[in-house]
Structure 1
Amino acid sequence: MLGMLRALWAYRGFILGSVKREFQSKYRNSLLGAAWTVLNPLAMIVVYTVIFARVMHARLPGVDSSFAYSIHLCAGVLPWGMFVEIVSRAQNAFIENANMIKKLSFPRLCLPVIVVVNALVNFVIVFGLFTAFLIITGNFPGVVFLAVIPLLILLTLFGIGLGITLGVLNVFFRDVGQFFGIVLNFWFWLTPIVYSVDILPKAIQSGMRFNPMAPLIESFQVVMMQASWPDWSQLWFVTVLGVGLCLAGFSLFRKHAGEMVDEL
C-alpha cells in the first residue's frame, strides 16, 4: 500500500496535468464553458422541484415550501451526482485509456485518482455555489457545515472502491458497465433524495438500512436542512462497505494487472 502511495505521489504532476487537460478539453469550443457543470444539476433540480414540490413538501418533516424543498433536493442530488460520476467513470477508466496503458509506463492507479480529482473539482464548483446561495438567503447551517468534509471523504471512499472493483471486472466482462448503468437508475429512486424515508411504509423503511447510500444522503440533508450533526452511528455500514470495496478493488487490480493489458 505504501508503495502505491509513493508511486502516485511521484506521478502527481501527471495526475494534475491530466485533470487540467480533461477539464479544459471538456469545455473546449463551448460558449458557456464550465457553466455546464452547474447547469446540468440545476436543470435536474428545477424539474424535480416543479414536479414534486407541491406533492412532497407537505409530507416532508421541516419542509413547508418549494424553496425549502429545493434545498432538500440540492443536499441530495449534488452528492449523488458526485457518487455517480466517480463510479461511472472509474468503471470505464481502464477501457477508455487502453491506448495510453499499452503505450506508456505509469502507475495504473493514477487513472482512478484522476477520476476522483475531476469529480471533486466539479463538485466543489457546484456545491460552492449552493453554499453561497445558502449564505445569501440566510439558510447557512453554521458550524455543522464542517460535517460535509467527513461525509465527502466517506462518499469518495465508497464510490472509488465500488468504481475500481467494477472497473477491473469490466475489462474482462464488458456487460458489467452496461448492467450497472441500469442499476444506478433504480438505485437513485431507491435512495431518499426526492423524498424522505419517514413517508415510506415501515417495512420499506427497515429495508433502507441495506442501501448504503440512504444514510449518507440523509446525513447531507440533515446538515443542510436541520442544521444538525448527522447520526454518525448510522454510517457504519457504508464505512465498512467502502473500506471493503477499496481493499477488494486494489486486490483485484494487483492480481490481474498483467492480464488486463492483454484484454484491453
Structure 2
Amino acid sequence: MTRREVVGRYRGSVMGLAWSFFNPILLLVVYTFVFSEVFQSRWAGQEGKGDFAILLFVGMIVHGLFAECANRAPSLILSNANYVKKVVFPLEILPLVSLGAALFHSCISVIVLLAAQQMLSGTTPLTALYFPVILLPLCLGTLGLSWLLAALGVFIRDVGQIISVLTTVLLFLSPVLYPVSALPEAYRPWLRLNPLTYVIEDSRNVLIFGHSPEWHGFILSLAGSVVIALAGFWLFQKTRAGFADVL
C-alpha cells in the first residue's frame, strides 16, 4: 500500500517517479539562491554561500515529514470509506502507509542534501548514519498524532483545516529558518517545548556538523513519542466502532 501511495502520486505524469528527485533538487537550488544571493543570509560559523541553504534544507526535511503526515491524517478514513463500510480491514495501518510514503520522499531529500554537501564541502560526516535513529522519536510521535487526527477527522471535519494552519505556523515556531541560539535567552525554553526542536537541531548535528546525537534529549524525546503513539492508537481503537455510522 505504501508503494501504491508513492507511485499513485505521480501516475499519469511524463517523468513519473523522477519527480521525487527533481522536487528536492529544485527546492535546494531555490533556497540557495534566495538566502545566499538575495538575502545574503549566513549561519553562525558557516561562511559559504550554500551552507545556509543546506542547514535550512535539513529543517525543511524534518518539518516536511511531520507536516505531510499531519495534514493527510484527518482525511485518511474519509478518503477510504470503502474500507470502513464494505470489508474487514485493519484501518490502523492507514497512518502507517502515509508515514511510509512521507519517509520515502524524505529519504530522497536526504540523498539530495548529502550530495549537495559533498559537492560544496567535499565531505560527508560518518555521524550521518545516526540520522535514522534521530528520526525514530519523530516517526513514533507523528504516527500517534496521525491516529488521533484520523479518528477526530471522521467526527469533526474542521480538523483538517485547523491542522493545515497549525503546521504552517509550526514552520516558523521551529528552528527551521534559524538556530535556537539566534533567539533571545528568555524565549529558548519555550522553543525547547516544541517536539520538532530536538529532532531538527540534532539532525543538523549529525548530518552537517559531524557531532554525535545528544542522547539525553533523545531519550526524553523518545519517551514522550512513545506516550503519544500509545495514546493516539488507544483513541483510534476506541472510536473506530463509530466510523461506519458517521460515514
Tell me which amino acid in the other structure corresponds to 1:111: L
Cα gap change, 1:56 to 1:94, in 2 (>3 Å): farther
What amino acid is the match of 2:137? L
Q: Where does residue 109 of structure 2 map in the other structure? A: 126
Contact map agreement 2:5 2:97 (CA 8 A) in 1: no
What's the counterpart of residue 169 of structure 2?
Answer: 186
Task: State the shift of 1:136 in Å.
Answer: 4.8
Q: Is 2:177 the counterpart of 1:199?
A: no
- Residue number among 118, 123, 137 corresponding to 1:139 in the alignment: 123
% identical equivalent positions = 32
Matches within 5 A, 1:1-264: 18-53=1-36, 55=39, 57-58=41-42, 60-137=43-120, 138-142=122-126, 144-264=127-247
Task: Report how many aligned residue pairs link the two structures.
Answer: 245
Q: Deviations over 1:206-241 (max 9, x none)?
A: 211111101110111111221111212223443233
Q: Secondary structure at the match of 1:34?
A: helix
1:33/1:234 CA distance change after superposition, 3 Å: same
**Superposition CA RMSD, Å:** 2.0
Contact 1:90 1:160 in 2 (8 A): no
Q: Report the TM-score, using the length of structure 2 for normalisation.
A: 0.90
Contact 1:57–1:64 under 8 Å retained in 2? no
Query: Which residue type is aligned with residue 227 of structure 2?
Result: G
Q: Matched residues in 2 for 1:150 and 1:61: separation? A: 26
1:172 deviates by: 1.0
Q: Is the 8 A contact 1:63 1:69 kept in 2?
A: yes
Q: Post-superposition shift, 1:150?
A: 0.9
- Contact residue 213 and residue 238 of structure 1 kept, 8 A: no
- CA separation in 1, counterparts of 2:206 and 2:40? 20
**Matches of 2:22 and 2:119 in 1, distance apart?**
20
Q: Distance in 2 between matches of 1:48 and 1:122?
A: 18
State the AA in 2 paired with 1:30. S
For the residues of structure 1 that align with 2:210 and 2:165, how far apart are their CA atoms? 34
- 1:56 positional shift: 6.6
Deviations 1:117-160 (A, max 9, x none): 21222222222233334345523012x11210211222211111
- What CA deviation, in whole Å up to 9, does each residue of 1:74-95 have, x standing for no partner? 2211122112122222332111
Q: CA deviation at 1:197?
A: 1.3
The TM-score, its normalising length taken from structure 1, stands at: 0.85
**Superposed displacement of residue 48, structure 1:** 3.5
**Contact (CA 8 Å) 1:162, 1:242: kept in 2 or not?**
no
Q: Label 1:205 to 1:52 Cα distance change in 2 as closer, same or farther (>3 A).
A: farther
Q: What is the SS of the residue equivalent to 2:91?
A: coil
Contact between 1:45 and 1:77, CA under 8 Å: does it hold in 2?
no
Q: Deviations over 1:87-117 (max 9, x none)?
A: 2223321111112321221211121121122
Shift of 1:50: 3.1
Post-superposition Cα deviations, 1:11-34, rounded to whole Å, max 9, x if no partner, equal xxxxxxx22322222212211222
**Rounded Cα–Cα distance in structure 1 between residues aligned with 2:225 and 2:94:** 19
Q: What's the CA shift string for 1:14-66, capped at 9, x where partnerless?
A: xxxx22322222212211222322333444443333333365743x2221122
Aligned residue number for residue 12 of structure 1: none
**Alignment partners' CA distance in 2, 1:164 and 1:100:** 16
